[in-house]
Structure 1
Amino acid sequence: MAIATRYKIKFTCGHTEIKDLGTTPPGKRVSKARWMGDTYTCTTCFKAADRKDLDKLNADTLADAEVFGQHHDLPDLEGSDKQLPWATRVRYQLLTDGLDDIGHDSPEAQELITAARTITRCGWWIDYKDADPDEVFEVVTTGAIKAKEQAQNHVASENPF
């Protein structure tokens, strides 16, 4: 007679799932299934709780980003409704990492903030979200120069298409 590897487990959240315990030695499967049920929540509840924690972290970071933006007189970003909170958080994280790297009271710090004020497109900040802290100063100041050039070369058109 074969020893079962799949067990129906009732978790602490009240939901039931079938789990494969084939990697657990046969003599320990029943006790592990009981322990898992007494200790953990089901996969769906675990993911929901993880999503809640991520949403709270994002909301807290966004609140910090808005305070940082007001303190440094940063302009509002331009982009879609989905991009705005993401780019605001990215801008905050990049600038704080850059300021930590170059020093908050250094002459480059003011140059970094001044350059960041000229970059208002959400997509730009999102594109550079993975920049290393030691690259932030160069990336932002170069991006500000390019943003200024694009603004000067922009030709308005009456054509709506």
Structure 2
Amino acid sequence: MSKIPTHYPVKYKCGHTAKRDLSKVPPSRRAQAAQSDFFATKAGKDGDGMVCPRCFTASREHDRDAFLNQLMLDTEAFEEEHHMPSLEGTEKMVTSGLITSARRDRYSVLDEILGHETGTDADTILTAARSLTWAGWWATNLGYKTRTQLEYGPEEYVELITDGAAEEAKRDALDTTARITSENPHDWNPDADPQ
């Protein structure tokens, strides 16, 4: 096994120094490559240097947070403009963030539908979407992973939303929250004397 090291500290354009695997550089030029300013000035997709892995991760997390914050602002504006009802769910759904995620999914889907010609009236789609207030429906049927894995588009969104609204209407018609009282006028009491 060779004693020539493969990992050398290199300087990045962010000013940080971090060890980098230079095993692909010929052994006779590794030390020289590590001391050069290649990673600070020439490397990277734009040819203007690279940031260290720590700064790259921090930047990516900041970009993701900024994207999600902007998406939530867009979601709230859309819900207000189109009079979308609040999504409902269990306490666990609230604390886990599923309702917030479902709100973003609903916005993303409806925004894409309204931006494309689907052959269905926008008011019809929005009315159907307003009837789907259970956050779990949006997360299960039109969540981000589902949409990307199955490569759904506006036509599939319209079909799922209209079908979901029709199923919701059937369920509302069969609402079982109004309990039917027993037709038997006699109460059963195990302690009563038999006659």
Match of 1:92 among 98, 107, 113: 107
CA drift at 1:47: 1.0
CA drift at 1:112: 0.5
Equivalent residue letter for 1:36? F
* TM-score, normalisation: structure 1: 0.80
User: Is 2:136 the counterpart of 1:136?
Assistant: no
For 1:5-64, what per-residue CA distance to the aligned partner results, in whole angstroms no more than 9, with x for missing partners? 211234444544322111234455445534225633322221111011111111111111
* TM-score, normalisation: structure 2: 0.67
Structure 1 residues 149 and 44: alpha-carbon distance in aligned structure 2, compared to 1, 3 A threshold: farther
The answer for unaligned runs of 5 or more in structure 2 is 42-48, 179-195
Q: Radius of gyration: which is bigger?
A: 2
User: Is 2:39 the counterpart of 1:36?
Assistant: yes
Q: Secondary structure at the match of 2:121?
A: helix
Contact 1:115 1:141 in 2 (8 A): yes
CA drift at 1:111: 0.7
What percentage of aligned pairs have identical amino acids? 32
Q: Secondary structure at the match of 2:116?
A: helix
RMSD: 2.7
Counting matched residue pairs gives: 156
Contact 1:102 1:108 in 2 (8 A): no
Q: Which has the higher helix share?
A: 1
Structure 1 residues 132 and 27: alpha-carbon distance in aligned structure 2, compared to 1, 3 A threshold: farther
CA drift at 1:121: 1.7
The answer for unaligned runs of 5 or more in structure 1 is none
For 1:68-98, what per-residue CA distance to the aligned partner results, in whole angstroms no more than 9, with x for missing partners? 1111110011232311221111111100111
Contact 1:98 1:136 in 2 (8 A): yes
Query: Matches of 1:133 and 1:28 in 2, distance apart?
Result: 55
Partner of 1:119: 132
Contact 1:9 1:36 in 2 (8 A): yes
